[in-house]
Every structure is written in C-alpha cells, then in structure tokens.
Structure 1
Amino acid sequence: MSETASTAPIPTTWNIFQLAWPLTLKAMMLHGIVVTDSLLIAALGEESLAAMGLAAAIGTLLLGILLAFSNATQIRVAVAFGANHPVDLKSGFYCGLAINLCVALIGIVGVWLFAGGIVQSLAHTPDIAAQAQRYLGVFMFVVLSEAVGQCLSGHFDGSGQTKVPFYSYLIAVPANVACSVVLIYGLFGLPQMGLTGAAVGSAVSSILRAGFLGAVFYRQNRWYRDVSGWRQGSFWIATKRHLFFALPIAATFGSSTVANSAAALIYAKMSVNQFAAMTLMMPWVQIAGTLGITWAQATGIIVAQLLGKAYSSAALDVFLRRAWRIAFVAAALVSVTYLFVCLASGWIYQGLQDETKFALMSFLPVLLILPFPKGSNAICGNTLRAGGDTIYVMNIFVGGQWLVRIPLTAIMILYFDLSVTWVFTLLLVEELVKFPAFHMRLFKGKWKTGQAGGA
C-alpha cells in the first residue's frame, strides 16, 4: 500500500452524495424522455403509439447494451483515476470506445438485416410496420452517437465528474422536445414527419450531447494525445482484457432485459384488472428505485477509485459502512414514495375499477420492504464489480432471474392461477434469494485486491 493511500482521508457520505445526485437526476431525465416522447406521439393516434412501441423495444435494447459496456468503462477508468495512471486512463477510454462502436455497428447491421421481418410479424397493420421501420432507420443515428456519448459519460463518471454527463442532458432534453415538436407537426414551414420526426429529434439531441461531452473531454485531456503507450503494452491486448471484463456486465443486462420481457408476456395471462395493476406499478418500482440504485453506483465508483489508490482493507470497510447507512435512509425514502403512490393511486389514475385499485393496494406490504434488500444488494453488486468480480455478479443476477423469478411466475400464473398479489411478491423473493450470495461474497473480501475476476 502506498504512503499516500495510508494517510489520505476516507471518503465521506457527502463525497458519495456529490457523485450520486447528478446520476439520480440524469436517470430521472432519461425516464422523462420516454414519457415526453409518448405524450407527443399520443396525439397522432394509437397506430403511431404502437409503431413507436415496436421500434423502441429494439432501439432501447441496443442502447441498453451500450450502457452496460459503458458501465464497464466507467469502472476501468475509476480504478485508473484513483491510481493516477494516465496510460490506463487513456486505455480505458479508447478500448471502451472501440468496443462501443463495434457493438453499435453490429447492432445497426442486425437491424438492417432482421428488424424488418420482426416488425412486420409483430405489427397489427402494414402502416404500423412501415412507421416503425422509418423510425428505426433514423434511430440508428442515435445508436451510433450514443456509442460515443455513453463512453464519454463513463469516462467522466469514473473520474468523479458525474455533473458533466448530467449537464449534457440539460442540453439534450430541451433540444429533443423542441426538435420533435417542430418535426412531428410540421411547424414553422418545416415538413410534417409524424413519428419519424420524433426519431429525428432524438438523433439531434443525442448528437448534441455527444458533441458537448467530446468538447469538454478535449478541453480537459486533448484526447490523450500527449500520453504515449497502452495498458499491457498493446492496444489489442488492452482491448481484449477490457472486453473480458465488460462481457459479464453486458450479459447481466441482456439477461435482465429478456427476463423482464418474458415476465411481461406471462403477466398478460392474468385477468385484465390484475395485469393493469402490474403494468401501472412496475414503472414506479423502476423510477422510485433509482435513488437507491444511483447511490450504489456512486459507491461503486468511489470503491474503484480507492482500489486504484491502494487503500487498506480497513479503510474500505469504514467507507462501505458509511455508504450502507445512507443506503438504508435512501431505501426508507423509496418506501415512503411507494406508500404515497399506493394511497394516491385512485387520484393519480382516475377511473380505475375497484378490483384494480385493490390489487394496487395489495402490493404495499412488499413495496415497503423491497427497497431495503434491493438497495443493500445493489451496494454489494457495484462494489464487487469495482473489484473485478463481474462474473460472480452476473451469475447471481442470472440465477435469481431464471432459476427463481421467471419459473415461479410461470407456475403461479399458468398452473395455479394465483392472484397478482402473490406474483408481485416474487420481486421481493428474488432480492432475498440474492441477498446471502451477495453479502457472503462481499464479506470474504477478495474483491479488495481489485483482481477478484482477473481484471
């Protein structure tokens, strides 16, 4: 351990908060973009909404994969930043950028080859299919620009500059709304593009965001032109090591996406009222849960930086105890939010039938408990990833999804026809199953070497 690490102060909860609040607001703005686009498209009618839903399912999958790879870049950069190794910082960024661009190009080729057939088979009418394909064609520019933008965001987040990506969304969101409104409805003499106009708005905002991040990156680092060499002495070797580290994180996201889609298809077998209740509550679970997840993400960034600085095991334990205390406070705030949503569901969603309202209220006991194990598991997961234990984290997530939640969901609905209340408890059951596996691994402490997964 270096002398600097042995004498440097241990980060406080305030240090975590400084990283976490921009991450939280950025995540909420991302959810807001989806809601805003839906509101703008709603005026075009159900067919346009259906077309957007089809296209967005494919586009969101590609963006999510890019985000997963960018999260890996974030961890690699955080370790290099903590160690103050310019060559590793340069390698983390450019290896991540190369991987992102390859993934984006593979995705674009895949959409060009296969998306048309998928959309036509799922669309109810030829017009819906045509609209979805036009939207996807333009949206590929979003995928390409986000390959760059997400990697730049990962670099800034890993360097502790989480405000910079947040500021980029302060530019992107208004640009998206303004451009989309003008092009959807053909204002100011511009062509009326309908649904395709929303895709153009997203592309313009994404390009602006990537441009802003690139300008800040150049101003700070000049693209690392003054830093020579690569990690492990070769760009190719460094990229392979980076990819090996990143693949389990991407696989975790892919598994989660497929599992959620499978669960949604099974939910559709419930009665209309019960399915409606589940459909209404799941977005709240994701949005309100952002507070705990981003706190855990900020904790993981700092842990990676501390590992790069070679902090002692005792210092890491002190930091994590501090992080955990506030994580439980965040969980309590999320629980209160869920309580408000359940109690105010009749006012938020006016016109609901009594059976749907009863189902929403029946979720409350689970919602009051869920944030606590979920938040603690998130702290463990992000900490283990920071220490390079990405494969183990992937195994826990995949096991919880495909050995517990999805099979039990199918059994409860398809075989026993249980109520939605019992089905909803599986969200808590999954977290409780993951709880001992996460915490036992964390307490073993192998991650404190920073080489738990051979990173």
Structure 2
Amino acid sequence: MWKNSSYIRNNIKMAWPIAINALLMQGMLMIDTLLISPLGEGSLAAIGIASAIVFLMLGVQNALATGSQNVLSRAVGSGKQSLISKSFLSGVIINLLVAILFFLLVTFAKWPIIKLLSHDAALYPEIDAYLTVMSYTLILTGISQVAIALFNAMGKTKLPLLSYLLTMPINAVVSYYLIYGFNDFTGMGVEGAALGSVIALLLRTLFLLVCLKFESSLQFSLSQAMQGIGRNISLHFKEIFPIAANMMVLAIGLAAYKFLYTQLPTEAYAAVVMVTPWLSALAQFVVAWAVSSAITISQAIGANKLDTLEADVNLSIKVTIAVSLIISFASFVLSLLIDKIYPGHSAVTYQALAAIAPLYILMPLIQGYVTVHGQVLRALGKTTAVFNINFVTRWVIALPLFAFAVLVLNASIFWVYAITVLEQILKIPPMRSQARRFLKEFDSTKASKLMYD
C-alpha cells in the first residue's frame, strides 16, 4: 500500500506542472491575439493564418520532444551519465534538423502556402511579416523542448513550468510595446507580436540551458555523448518519428473535422465552438497524468526494475479513470453553466449545446482510458502501434463516416458529435489488447534493446 501511495504521489507531483505547462503553451497564441485585436479584423485574420502554419510545425517538434522524453526517461532510470548525455544530444540534433527543414520551408516556399490558406491579397504583407519573424521560434524550440523533455524525464517538471511563468509576462509586455511603440518608436504591428514571442522564447531557452548547466545530478560529457552517436540518433529517430507522424495524422484529421463542422447549421457549429476550448483545457489534466505515468514506467525500464511494471501500469490505469471521472464531473458542471458563460444566443444554439452535453460529459472517461494505454505503448517503445491505431480509427473509419453523416444524411448535431466519441471507443480494444500483450512479453532483453547505448 505504501509503495502504491508513493507511486501516486510521485506521478501527481510530476503531472500537475505538465498540465499547467500545456495550458500556458496554448496561452502564447492567446497573448498575441489579445494584443493584436485593437488593430482590426484584418490583422487578426493575418495572425490567425500565419500562426496556424507555425504552430503546426511547432506541434511536430513538440511531438518529437515528447518521444525523446521516453528515451531520456529510460536513460535517467539507468543512471548512466554517458547515456543521458548521448540521448539528450541525439534529441537536440533530431529536433534541430527538423527545425532547420521547417525554417527553410518557411523561408523559400511560404508563398504557395500563404496563397493556399488565404485568397485575400490585402492580408499577405502582415501574414508574411508575422510568419517570417515567428519562423525563428522553430530553431529555439528545437533546443528548449528537448531540454524540457529532459527535466520531465528527471521528474523535475516544475522547472519548465517556472520557465513559462517567468517569460510569459515578458512576452506580453515586450510584445505590447513592439506592436504599438513607445516614445519616438512607432511600433511594428503584427511583426512586433512575433518578435516579442521570439524574445520570450529565447529567454526561456537560455533559462533552461542555465538550469541544465547547474543541475547537480547531471554530468554532461560531449566526448562520451559523441561515442556511437550515429547509431543512437538512428534508433532514437526510429522510435520517435511515429509520434510526430501520429501528431500530424491527428492534427490534419482535426482540421478536417473542423471544416466539416462548418457545414452544419450555424447554431450547431456555434455550440461546438463554444465548448471545445473548455473541453481541451480540461483534457490536459488527464493527458498530464498519462504522460507522468509513461515517464515513471520508462524510468523503471531504464533501471531494469521490471518486477512491478505490470502492477504500476494497472495502477496508472485506475488512477486515470479516477482523474477522468473528475474531469467528467467538471464537464457536467460546464454543461450547467454554459448558457451563463455565453449569454444572449438563440434557443436553437442552447438546444444544440444540451444535445451534445451527455456526449462531452462521457468523452473524458473514454479518452482517458485510451490515452493512458497509448502512453504505456509508447513507454514500451511501441510508437508505431499507436500510430496505426490512430490512423485507422480516424482516417479509415471516423472521418468518412463523419463526412457521410454531415454531407449526405444531414444528421443532427447529436449524431454527428457522437461519431467523434465512437472514434475513441473504437481505439479501446486494440489499445488495450496490444498494451497487455506487449507488457506480458516485456522482459530484460527487450528492455536492453531500448537503451540505445
């Protein structure tokens, strides 16, 4: 019992900063949007289009860093400083190479992308200005996200949170003055908002690197890290690439969902728009617990402590269900207050909100169960299995069915929204069966193959 309590306390200690971090990352765009708003709808539209491009690329980098987090957790669990150094260097190199690729894409091929996303030529100068400056965040993210992954792998998730708390106010203040100017400086408009974000991210990156430099439990050695680095990078990339591919599959699929939602009656679409940000924010707490469980499991694999691995996984699943129940209750409370949060809308819109309420209240339980099993599979190195399940359920089954319901059947909002719940339900059998099978087969030999030493 004591061990179980210790396991739960340790994971909660890691999980809550991860959840707050995720919310603050979403807040970066919110700061720019709020500051740009007085400039008018054209500037808001420009920043929305440009940020969609950048944040898709940043999402891929974050996904790669999340994959590196499991690799780094195993290295931390092993206690081998040389392996930690090598894994960190591999993660940084991979992420920086992807960052450079994206940077070159933005620099030399941005106009076809811009013209694809917007047909309003009046917006092009502001889109170009914001996108050009924000592209430098890709390079900084290549370093900072892997540094955050290492701190998370060590269980020190409060340091990344502190880096966000310190730099977000700087982002807001610097961006404000760069946008609107001060004294004789007239301001840079949307370009100033982008530059403020770059400055804040630069400070965050420097803060994280200084913290790594003075971290007493780390002894980085470049000479040791370079030994066999080619093999480490190859194996490291092979494991984490499906996570980035998975992110792209889900992100593009989400964009397809959003487009199809726009084909619904305006009131039904408005209902989905109202609840989605709240549900996304609440979901971060379930995801954070699942991620912290993956870190703990990966550390145990690295330390070759496999005797309690299955028990730890079972405990993680039980706690995830408990957390999901809390989030479901919070979603229930949201359903009671949503008309107070968004007053003044038509009765049809509130009827649509009431229709989908049972579904979004149920969703956290299903998503939580799926998420924790996906994280277990990733901790066991089975990232391709997670990709395959997500690809089939979203692109082969759910999206075609969703499109048919919206475009052909003209189905009600309840049945349309229910398909997104069905997608999650369809993931449960393969996620559970594969996690159980791989966990049962997992032994010291398989653990050693994941060390990349």
Superposition TM-score, scaled by structure 1 size: 0.93
Is 1:406 the counterpart of 2:399? The answer is yes
CA deviation after TM superposition for structure 1 residue 29, in Å: 1.3
| Gap change, CA 1:371 and 1:74, over 3 Å in 2 | same
Cα distance 1:146–1:370, how it changes in 2: closer, same or farther (>3 A)?
Answer: same
Q: How far did 1:33 drift?
A: 2.4
Query: C-alpha displacement at 1:36, in angstroms?
Result: 2.6
Rounded Cα–Cα distance in structure 2 between residues aligned with 1:112 and 1:25: 33
1:253 maps to amino acid: M
SS at match of 1:161: coil
1:153-232 matches, within 5 Å, as: 153-220=148-215, 224-226=219-221, 228-230=223-225
In the other structure, the counterpart of 1:270 is: 264
The residue type paired with residue 259 of structure 1 is G
Q: For 1:408 and 1:87, how far apart are their aligned partners in 2? A: 50
Indicate if the aligned counterparts of 1:134 and 1:196 stay in contact, CA closer than 8 A.
yes
The answer to whether residue 243 in structure 2 is matched with residue 249 in structure 1 is: yes
- Give the CA deviation at 1:221: 6.5
- Give the equivalent residue in structure 2 for 1:26: 21
Cα-to-partner distance string for 1:197-248 (whole Å, 9 max, x where unaligned): 11011101110100000001111279855464348x5111111111111111
1:115 shift after superposition: 1.7
Q: Give, in whole Å, the separation in 1 of the partners of 2:225 and 2:196.
A: 38
Deviations 1:351-392, CA, capped at 9 Å, x for gaps: 221111111111111122111121111111111101111110
Q: Does 1:138 pair with 2:166?
A: no
Determine the structure 2 residue equivalent to 1:67.
62
Whole-angstrom CA distance in 1 between matches of 2:119 and 2:45? 9
Closer, same or farther: CA 56–449 of 1 in aligned 2, 3 Å: farther
Map residues 19-418 of structure 1 onto 2, 5 A cutoff: 19-220=14-215, 224-226=219-221, 228-230=223-225, 233-313=227-307, 315-418=308-411
Contact kept? 2:82, 2:221, Cα under 8 Å: no
Q: For 1:363, what is the secondary structure of its paired residue? A: helix
User: Aligned partners of 1:41, 1:375: CA distance in 2, in Å?
Assistant: 36
Evaluate the alpha carbon distance shift between residue 454 and residue 394 of structure 1 in structure 2; reply closer, same or farther with a 3 A threshold: farther
C-alpha distance in structure 1 between counterparts of 2:432 and 2:449, whole Å: 20
Q: Is contact 1:230–1:238 with CA below 8 Å preserved after alignment?
A: no
| Secondary structure of 2:156 counterpart | coil
Deviations 1:167-216, CA, capped at 9 Å, x for gaps: 11011211111111111111354331111111011101110100000001
- 1:36-56 Cα offsets, whole Å, 9 max, x none, are 322222111110111011101
One-letter code aligned to 2:181: G
Q: Tell me if the contact between 2:11 and 2:292 (Cα under 8 Å) persists in the aligned partners.
A: yes
Give the distance between the partners of 1:58 and 1:397, measured in 2 at CA: 23
* Aligned 8 A contact 2:304 2:447 in 1: no
Q: Retained in 2: the 8 A contact 1:55–1:133?
A: yes
In structure 2, C-alpha distance between the alignment counterparts of 1:453 and 1:44, rounded to whole Å = 57
- One-letter amino acid of the counterpart of residue 349, structure 1: Y
Residue equivalent to 1:426: 419
Q: 1:453 to 1:186 in 2, by over 3 A?
A: farther
- Deviations along 1:19-42, one digit per CA (max 9) or x if unpaired, are 001101111112222223222221
Deviations 1:81-132 (A, max 9, x none): 1111112111110001001111001001111222222213432432311101
Over 3 Å counting, the alpha-carbon distance change for 1:447 and 1:144 in structure 2 is farther
Paired with 1:62 and 1:446, the residues of 2 have a C-alpha distance of: 36
**3-state SS of 1:350 partner:** coil
In structure 1, runs of 5+ residues without a counterpart are 1-7
What letter corresponds to residue 249 of structure 1 in structure 2? I
Alpha-carbon contact 1:156-1:165 (below 8 Å) kept: yes
Aligned to 1:4: none
What are the ranges of 5 or more consecutive residues in structure 2 without an aligned counterpart? none
More displaced, 320-329 or 70-79? 320-329
Q: Secondary structure at the match of 2:39?
A: coil
- Alpha-carbon shift at residue 448 of structure 1 (Å): 3.5
The percentage of aligned residue pairs carrying the same residue is 27
CA apart distance, 1:432: 0.8
- Residues 103 and 136, structure 2, Cα contact 8 Å, conserved in 1: no
Length-normalised TM-score, structure 2: 0.94
Q: How far, CA to CA, are the matches of 1:160 and 1:181 in structure 2?
A: 35
CA positional deviation for 1:408 = 1.1
The Cα of 1:340 is off from its aligned counterpart by 2.2
Q: Is the contact made by 1:182 and 1:188 (CA closer than 8 Å) also made in structure 2?
A: no
**Local SS of the residue matching 2:320:** helix
Which whole-Å deviations, capped at 9, do the CAs of 1:311-356 have from their partners, x for residues lacking one? 234x122222332232122112211221222221221112221111
C-alpha spacing 1:452/1:218, structure 2 compared with 1 (3 Å): closer
Comparing 343-352 and 91-100, the one that deviates more: 343-352
One-letter code aligned to 1:27? A
